[in-house]
Amino acid sequence: MFKITHAQFIAPGIKRFVLEAPRIARKQKPGQFVILRIYEEGERIPVTIENSDPELGTISIVVQSIGKTTHLLNSLNTGDSILDVVGPLGKPSEIENYGTVVVVGGGVGTAMAYPSAAAFKRAGNRVISIVGARTKELVILEQELRAVSDAVMITTDDGSYADKGFVTDKLRQLIQNGTRIDLVLAIGPIVMMRAVAELTRKENIHTVVSLNPIMIDGTGMCGGCRVPIDGKSEFACVDGPEFDAHKVNFEVLVQRNSMYRDAEQRSLAEYQRAAAEKTAAHQVEESCAIAQRGER
């Protein structure tokens, strides 16, 4: 069991958890992830580690409610426990002094990009961070990123905060302004990572993306996370999760990630129905209790 020592929503539907996981905290490096299973009947899902504190023996993760497991996870609070957390998995980001590094974070991917941005800064790079979100409330870790970046650029799809547009608009601007870029790291939705890859391919800028394919064990056994890289099957859990963006077959990644969409939707719908019934039952109980107190 892995205890949650702190849990807090940082944006609507996005929650940060601090977990007691001393072994993982000692070893974690930027770019690595954990696989967790909340309860006995639960599925195993990969989640990128945001940060770790080896002294306290804790790690933090940032989770967005998307399917049943992430909704369930985000219903947990400080003091609750998660049944299994294993990691740190995957190869760490290759942190060196490249010169100028642009770190692109889309949505909750920003939380995964943040530790790498910090590490690039520590390694002596000039770090430019670009953050994209659907809307103002979903812009996360802005202050944290400012602290480790030489410049931070923000876009929202709806223009409700900072500049309206997409992260690729900002990246294109940088390129057009003649900014020398030695490396781009992009972490976020697949469509965003693909758009970044297409943009930088033309400019011949080395670009790395962190992939999130379907995964079960995460240790190089099941082969579910295979992705064609330069036409050859590679496994995100042991060969990745970071790959050269210009070699990734995004089309196959999108297709394979959609494999269980129907099941995922069914699972979520049943979970939400059960949760709603529970809330309703709870409300009935509460109003009964209030009524009883009133009677007294």
Partner 1 sequence: MSPTTNKSLNPLPMKERMKVPRQLMPEQPANERNKNFSEVNLGYNPELARQEALRCLECAKPTCTDNCPVGVKVKEFVELIVAGDFLAAAAKIREDNVLPAVTGRVCPQEDHCEGKCLLSKKVKPLGIGYLERFVADYEQRMGTHVLPDVPPTGKKVAVVGSGPSGLTVAGDLIQKGHKVRVFEALHELGGVLVYGIPEFRLPKQIIREQLDYMREMGVEFETDVVVGRTVTIDELMHEEGFDAVYIGTGAGLPQFMGIPGEHFNGVYSANEFLTRINLMKAYKFPTYDEPMVDLHGKDVAVIGGGNTALDAIRSALRLGARKAYVIYRRSDAEMPARAEEVHHAQQEGIDFQMLTAPVEFLSDGKGWLTAARCVRMELGEPDSSGRRRPVPIKGSEFDLPLSVAVMAIGTTANPIVQSTTPGLGTDKRGYIQADSETQRTTRPGVFAGGDIVTGAATVILAMGAGRRAAKSIHDYLTNGQW
Contacts to partner 1 by CB under 8 A: 23-24, 27, 37, 41-44, 68-69, 83-89, 216-224, 226, 228, 233, 235, 238, 249, 252, 255-256, 258-260, 263-264, 266-267, 270
| Residue 202, token pair as written in the block | 């033309």
Please give the distance of CA 237 from its chain centroid, rounded to a whole number.
15
Return the bridge partners of 15, or none: 9, 63
Q: Is the CB of residue 95 less than 8 Å from the CB of residue 30?
A: yes
Distances (CA, A) of 68 to 21, 36, 46, 115: 24, 14, 14, 27
* Residue 235: CB minimum distance to partner 1, A: 6
Pick 123 or 221: Cβ nearer partner 1: 221
- Judged by beta carbon, residue 43 or residue 142, the one nearer partner 1 is 43
- Minimum CB distance to partner 1, residue 91 (Å): 9
Q: Which of 80, 97, 68, 89 is nearest to 20 (CA)?
A: 80
Q: Which is nearer to partner 1, 30 or 87 (CB)?
A: 87
Minimal distance, residue 280 CB to partner 1, in Å: 21
Report cis status (omega within 30 of 0) of the bond before 115.
Answer: no
User: Would you say 274 or 290 has its CB closer to partner 1?
Assistant: 274
What DSSP assignment string belongs to 80-91? -EESEEEEEESP
Nearer to partner 1 by C-beta: 43 or 198? 43
Q: Which is nearer to partner 1, 51 or 155 (CB)?
A: 51
- Least separation in angstroms between residue 148's CB and partner 1 is 25
Scan for tokens 């306290």, then name that residue.
56
Nearest to 235 by CA among 251, 247, 221, 256: 221
Helix (H, G, I), strand (E, B) or coil at 72: helix
> Least distance (Å) from partner 1 to the CB of residue 96?
19
Amino acid at 5: T
Q: Shortest approach of partner 1 to residue 192 CB, angstroms?
A: 21
> Which residue is it, tokens 């030489």?
150
Nearer to partner 1, 49 or 140 (CB): 49
Strand partners, 108: none
Give the nearest distance from C-beta 39 to partner 1 in angstroms.
Answer: 9
What's the one-letter identity of residue 17? F
